Structure 1
Amino acid sequence: MTTHGTATPQQLTRFRAAVEEIAQEIGSDPGWGAGSALERAADLPEVRAVLDRLPDGTQGALARIEREVRAFRPSPRANASTPATLAKILLLQQIDVLWWSSVAPFADDGAVTGSPELVSLAALRRQGRLAFGFRMGATGFPARLRNYAVRRWDPAREPRSSGLSHPVARPAVVGLLNEMATRFAAAAPEWRRGLWVNCIVRSVADQERLRELGYSAFLPSAHCIGWAADVEMTWLRGHGVAAPLQEILIGYRDAGVLNVIDEGQAWHVCLNPAVVSRYEDAAPADTAAVGG
């Protein structure tokens, strides 16, 4: 059964609490217990209040998640360290799906670079209009050599991440990340290196390539429509400044602005469509679209 309309903030709060209990149940079973726990989840009204609204409904969503959890193998490239943490991540990602399933994803690199809905982060950075940091994914030898040098001789300078697949974003996401970075700077004035973003836009083809390499890259994904970002945490934790940012992100979540998921090295955030116009207004003005 599929229920129309979006979930209320109260329903999302109850859903998140139910997800915590499901993850704990899976984690407490040495045989992983994913199947039985997810089967029982289908009968929980707190879960159905969200998953019934997805295109494939509660049964379809839980079947997808169960397949992923049963196939889980520990990997240094994976976001999750256990089947329980993977189940939690995947269940919470269904809020992204709830909000954005009607938007068609970017199929490949051409769809990203040709989109009139995305703006260039490189151009904004050159203009001094970004409050957050990022690195492009290294595809050539000079970039790889540069990243190796940083890791070898100044490992605390930047996070150990693969970098952005595409240096582009939706204007509203830029507005959100700039606001987030400003709040973080005020909450952690002793920290001079700011907010760091590991991922914003990926295409479906990007996700599939990363999945083949063993990364946690699932579909559907809000990254493939440009409405999500992954914010670095492990690096900040190593410098003792992660807590202020975590508090800020939880505040956004509780205010209904974001879906927030702890994915280990990074925290995944997805913008609620109900507040997009607010952050479009906050975005840097007069920015040319990459596909314009």
Structure 2
Amino acid sequence: MEFRRLGRSGLSVSEISYGNWITHGSQVEEEQAHECVRAALDSGITTFDTADVYANTRAEEVLGRALDGQRRESLEIFTKVYWPTGPGGPNDKGLGRKHIIESANASLRRLRTDYVDLYQAHRFDQTVPLEETMQAFADLVRTGKALYIGVSEWKADQIARGAALARELGIQLISNQPQYSMLWRVIEAQVVPTCEQEGISQIVWSPIAQGVLTGKYLPGQAPPEGSRATDEQGKNFIARFLRDEVLERVQQLKPIAEGLGLSQAQLAVAWVLQNPNVASAIIGATRPEQVRENVKAAGVKLDADVLAQIDKVLNGIVEYDPRLGG
């Protein structure tokens, strides 16, 4: 495993991190989830990402139990706040002060830790003054419940405003967590340049495009049983990629991966890590062997010719429109 600094901060993270969206507390049984976490730890992953909304708080509980007994100082634990949790009361969502503070305390209890290394705004809240949101985050940092602050799926102008307020409040906004893959590059035009200027890194989710870039989904055929496309929660996110035109092009990536001695999944993860603004790529898993295989993308360098070959294969089906982010 290799490590990268997150933004301009002193926090190092494993360049491949483990995330438990959809899987823990939902798609896989708890013992299987624990086996995946053990495989991540054994593979050198130290960075773990979750959110209170995943499986309506159960994912945090599973991760907390899975990491229980590990040396806390050797881990980087991230979680998020914004989406509705609990019974869905008027203050059970958003980025108002009440919801942020209460959610942070609840997340710490579920994760069995006194602090998180990174607390992230899961989306931008148009209904709450940004000053209120950032002040609440600053108070969490000052009380030691969060070491750093991040955001997820914010647009470039929102990131710039948040970074400016963070500086005024004397805290560090160091990361953005967007979707990013060979097929989904909407952050490249605006978000990445803004983050480079502000000293903010990307922690990217779905580097394998919900599993499509593994090549297991074949044009003209039904999705494999038990795959993300058959999961009630996951299928809505993968649907945009399950077009025959996309699946046919993905199959053309196979000889490129094989020529490098990589699987298509490893190629996809390695591809996002070529972007110098990406600090870490989040992988998920339903089986420990998926973790062990995907971490082999750590440290892989793709030369310009390979990147050009990938662009040529995918020309015309990649999404670049920055309006689709956030």
Question: Fold match, TM over 0.5?
Answer: no
User: Quick check: which one's strand share is greater?
Assistant: 2
**What TM-score does the superposition give when structure 1 sets the normalisation length?**
0.25
